[in-house]
Amino acid sequence: MGSSLLRVLGFVFLLLGYCSSSTSPLQDQERDKITELPGQPTNVGFAQYSGYVTVDQQAGRALFYWLTEAPASRRPESRPLVLWLNGGPGCSSVAYGAAEEIGPFRIHPDGKTLFFNPYAWNNLANILFLESPAGVGFSYSNTSSDLYTAGDQRTAEDAYTFIVNWFERFPQYKHRDFYIAGESYAGHYVPQLSQLVYQRNKGLQNPSINFKGFLVGNAVTDDYHDYVGTFEYWWIHGLISDATYRTLRVACDFGSSQHPSVACIKAFDVADKEQGSIDPYSIFTRPCSSAISLRRNLRGHYPWMPRAYDPCTERYSIIYFNRPEVQKALHANLTAISYPWKTCSDIVGDYWADSPLSMLPIYEELIAAGLRIWVFSGDTDAVVPLTATRYSIDALKLPTVMNWYPWYDHGKVGGWSQVYKGLTFVTVRGAGHEVIVVFLKIPTLPFENALVWERRFCLSTLFTGINSRVRERAQNWLSPALAPAFAYQTLNACPS
């Protein structure tokens, strides 16, 4: 009898201890809330949160996130949630996505103060930046071998676990329209994670993750077509010789981008020397004169290894995010690691494991499922160039809904677009690898415009299809004139 009572009391004490140590989602959010970033401008009118979400308790893997909500004046509770991923593999979404591209702040050259980015995506949506996989940026693992065994599959699984656990911490985002976006090697991350979300949502009546679709820019998509398109771009733009062009096509034919043959690596070495000291991420942009040689920042010989579009901006990020007071404000580096924060992890990138040759089968699956897919490409990028993306899209053999047409920004051609059944492709004139640096200056996000079209037109009986009248009407209140693309995709997604 006494032993039974002791067991019961032990269970009660264990339960009480568990209850006292657990916290509510509201408490977790309050713990992660950023009160103020060092050097930030005054009158910040939006909420920010950052911190860690554990994705593998046994291994001690935790991923770092930074959420920037839409301004209070824009009713963030009514805005969609967008997860942003940078590629590499091994590069930080805080360094690039948040600090250089679509985040609310830019870093001054002093590396100490911030200024507003007037074209930040959080003007239109709630943006969630994720540093992935473990070992990248502030994300970490207590199992050191994890850094040497990262690959596509585990990255997708960990990112999915992150989303599930993050929604438990931020339950107000459950059932909210949710999109996944990214660039470069996130051309793998984004479709793979999208596929996981889609497949695990199957059979659920009202899934917490209300996944609507994904966006990718200058994305690594299919190794064969990426190689063919990249070599062709180099040759057409006079970056390599005829002989090197022929050698690349033979030596790298059907090869893996992450694990190329010895002959392919040698051909890349020759191409690298022939191209000289240019910025391959934006071939008409003068490199930052104060930066270290661009080629020293390109890992290996793969044509899409990461480096920031502006190496000077990258330097500002390194200074800012290594400041102890900044890390404290971000609730980052809680384990006080001895080595500095880096924009990209050489270990993770150099030891990358699995990397499927093609994402096209995933595209086919998700297009058939009716998800919104948006692909955009800057036409001055020689890393994952426009030609590579066009070859990959062409391989899908999708029916064309709206043929190639120019879109305009303030009366000038901003690029071109083609609408396929299930996919919209957009080019941005004069933009490089980090196309979003240019593209974000144009107030046209797919999720925003889809919502606008749905609100203004889906429930209207003014028209039933796409025609010149729709385009004309759209141009009166949208800039640039990408409206037909959005009209098609939204009309087909409209509730009956």
Q: Give the pLDDT confidence score for residue 411 in this predicted structure.
A: 85
For the stretch 220-236, pLDDT in tens is: 999 999 999 999 999 99
Distances (CA, A) of 132 to 1, 63, 91: 53, 7, 8
Q: Give the pLDDT confidence score for residue 289 in this predicted structure.
A: 59
H-state helical runs in 143-292: 152-169, 186-201, 223-236, 242-251, 262-275
Dist. CA 319–CA 95, nearest whole Å: 11
Q: Averaged over 182-211, what is the pLDDT? A: 95
More confident residue, 408 or 35: 35
Residue 478 has pLDDT above 50, yes or no: no
Residue 160 has pLDDT above 50, yes or no: yes
> β-strands 81-85, 61-68: how paired?
unpaired
Residue 163 has pLDDT above 70, yes or no: yes
Beta bridge partners of 64: 52, 131
For the stretch 280-289, pLDDT in tens is: 777 777 766 5
Domain ranges, ordered by start, for the chain:
20-222+308-442, 444-496
In CATH terms, the fold of domain 20-222+308-442 is Rossmann fold (3.40.50)
More confident residue, 336 or 250: 250
Contacts of 51 (CB under 8 A, 6+ apart): 31, 32, 64, 65, 331, 332
CB 87 within 8 A of CB 126: no
Q: Give the pLDDT confidence score for residue 22 in this predicted structure.
A: 60
**Phi, psi at residue 141, to the nearest 5°?**
-140, 140
Q: Give the pLDDT confidence score for residue 334 in this predicted structure.
A: 83
Dist. CA 101–CA 80, nearest whole Å: 19
CB 395 within 8 A of CB 222: yes
Residue 202 has pLDDT above 50, yes or no: yes
Which of 187-191, 400-404, 431-435 reaches the highest mean pLDDT? 187-191
Q: Averaged over 449-464, what is the pLDDT? A: 34
Residue type, 371: L
Assessment of whether the complete model's pTM goes beyond 0.85: no
CA atoms within a 13 Å half-sphere pointing along the CA-CB vector of 448: 18
- Residue 173: name the closest of 82, 48, 94 by CA: 82
Return the H-helix or E-strand segment holding 177.
strand 177-183
Q: Give the pLDDT confidence score for residue 418 in this predicted structure.
A: 92
Residues that are catalytic: 184, 381, 433
CB 297 within 8 A of CB 307: yes
pLDDT confidence band for 246 (50 / 70 / 90)? very high
More confident residue, 466 or 189: 189
For the stretch 108-122, pLDDT in tens is: 999 999 999 988 999
Residue 153 has pLDDT above 80, yes or no: yes
Distances (CA, A) of 130 to 198, 221, 232, 343: 19, 21, 34, 13
Residue 56 has pLDDT above 50, yes or no: yes
| Mean pLDDT taken over the chain | 81
Q: Averaged over 40-52, what is the pLDDT? A: 96
Q: Averaged over 75-103, what is the pLDDT? A: 94
- List the single range of 17-26, 66-75, 295-304 with lowest mean pLDDT: 295-304
Q: Averaged over 73-85, what is the pLDDT? A: 95
